[in-house]
Chain A
Amino acid sequence: MLKLKNIDVFYGKIHAIKHVSLHVDEGSIVALIGANGAGKSTLLRTISGLHRSEQGSVIFSESDITRKAPEEIVRLGISHVPERGHVFKPMTVEDNLLLGAYHRSARSGRSAVRDEMEHVYTIFPVLGQRRRQLAGTLSGGEQQMLAIGRALMAKPRMLLLDEPSMGLAPLIVREILGMIAQLRKTLGLTVLLVEQNARSALRIADSGYVLETGRVLVQGTAEDLLANRDVQRAYLGRDAE
């Protein structure tokens, strides 16, 4: 479904992503793990068009999206939930969700958008209870749910999730990751998931990539990575039970 071939990304002179290739099968969850500054967010930003790669190509279900703008890429079916959610804080929960459907609001009409919104409220009942509340006054976990809900409003085929559990209590982390596994099952979504909680992420993932200073260090199925000694030592130590 998604293929990255030899991607190189720079910030000025900083070579943030070095010849990264990666692929995500349709309907799978792929975990992207790595230390702070490894380039995980940069890679997601490159896929969603926020950042341009210097070289290489990004192919999404047969079409080349390497040079496309973010607003075109959402239209093609990739929704990116950025690090820390980036909800529209001074706007209500409802308006945030409504704007999630911006690119298809003209075509699919009000009632379809309403239906989708009710669907998001059944997935995240907390949001339904707080539809008139300003997004900035939601708790961290609720904002994260809103960010995911807003991304779902675009009716994506693929979700890019950047640390949806950042700064959240373990119980809520489990809840959100469970939700992601559930979304894959019910909606058939394909997911590329960046996580610091490597173990929890690999538990719901089919396969994974380990990124280190801009390079792919290891890749493999989720079980292989969980069993891999180097990966265990470097990335699974912290949240080992």
Chain B
Amino acid sequence: MTVFLQFLFSGLTVGSVYALIGMGFNIIYNATSIINLAQGEFVVIGGLLMWFFLESCNVPFFAAIGLSILSAGLIGLIMERLTIRPLRTNDLLVMTMVTIAVSIVMRGLLMFKFGKEPYSYAAFTEGDPLVIGGAVIQLQTFWVLGITAACILGLYAFFNLTMVGKAMRACSFDPTAASLVGIPVSRMIMFSFILSAVVGAVGGAAITPISLMEYDKGPMLAVKGFCAAIMGGLGRGRGAIVGGLTIGILESMTAGYLHSGLKDAVALVILLAILFFRPAGMFGNTTMQRLKGH
């Protein structure tokens, strides 16, 4: 039981990050129908920038978080301005390929700046780990879970309660009608990249003290986050959360009870199974799909 709890908590922790990545996928997908395969790099950028500000520049903790978020948002903005905006093609395959190119360039730059070694920094708060039912839980785990919950609530409030958030949703439902009511659709697309980069980077900054961060972690994270998004039905926020946590827990159980080498296969197996059996996602809500006109 103790071991099970231990695996469960570590699964929830990585799963939270997968959920954040999945939500990042959804934000951009909803705005543009593009699958942004550079989503994993946003997470890496979050972790490495946090290290850079904390350890290399010796900036105080809160300032380091602020600067990391700001830089990540800026990177999302630059990505949109330099690649998505100028292309303006309707060919989604081309756009998706472009995001792969961007991810390769980002990885190159990250390696150039940070090298190949893994990075880490101290947990957000000092203190002894908590013991729950015999399982030893590091305090940073609660930070990850709390930050993920805050991101989920924040995004929910943003998309449902603010005018800009509602306008972004409107663009995803019907860009023509959105521009007719005066919503600048291309600016909303830019916002979606900024938001998505920030969500990913926050996840990266939170998880790095637990699982370390290196320049080339992006693609694997992207695959898992994508799997989370697909499990929940692409484009649906709540789905990505359930998907991410599920993958995290299954991975952790597989690594614990079977073999740690099989861990990364879990997401791929789930992905294949979904693509074969339930292309609309595990939580495919058909009325909503119909309303959106898919």
A: residues with CB less than 8 A from B are: 48-50, 69-71, 74-75, 79-80, 82, 86-91, 95, 98-100, 102-105, 134, 136-137, 150-151, 153-154
Contacts and interface: CB of A to CB of B under 8 A. Distances in A.
A71 B187 CA distance: 11
B170 A71 contact: no
B182 A103 contact: yes
A80 to B, nearest CB: 5
B173 A102 contact: no
Contact of B181 (A89, A99, A136, A137): A99
Contacts of B177: 82, 86-88
B146 interface: no
B180 A48 contact: yes
Contacts of B82: none
B169 interface: yes
Contact of A50 (B169, B170, B180, B293): B180
Q: Most chain-A CB neighbours within 10 Å: which of B177, B180, B182, B293?
A: B180
Which of A48, A70, A75, A134 is packed against the most chain B CB atoms within 10 Å? A70
B288 to A, nearest CB: 6
B251 to A, nearest CB: 33
B176 interface: yes
B180 A80 contact: yes
A74 B181 contact: yes
B55 interface: no
Interface of B: 163, 166-167, 169-170, 173-174, 176-185, 288, 290-293
A90 B163 contact: no
Given A50-B179, A102-B183, 4 more contacts: A86-B176, A86-B180, A89-B292, A98-B166
Of A71, A105, A136, most B-chain CB atoms within 10 Å: A71
Contacts of A102: 163, 167, 181-183
B180 A82 contact: yes
A70 B186 CA distance: 12
A80 B170 CA distance: 16
Contact of A82 (B167, B170, B176, B288): B176
A137 B291 CA distance: 8
A153 B177 CA distance: 14
Contacts of A50: 176, 179-180
B181 A91 contact: no
A69 B179 contact: yes
18 contacts: A48-B180, A70-B179, A70-B180, A70-B182, A71-B182, A74-B182, A88-B178, A89-B174, A89-B291, A89-B293, A90-B169, A99-B166, A99-B167, A102-B182, A103-B181, A103-B182, A134-B291, A136-B291
Nearest to A49: B179
A88 B170 CA distance: 6
Given A89-B173, A136-B291, A105 B181 contact: no
B181 A90 contact: no
B291 A100 contact: no
Contacts of B178: 88, 99
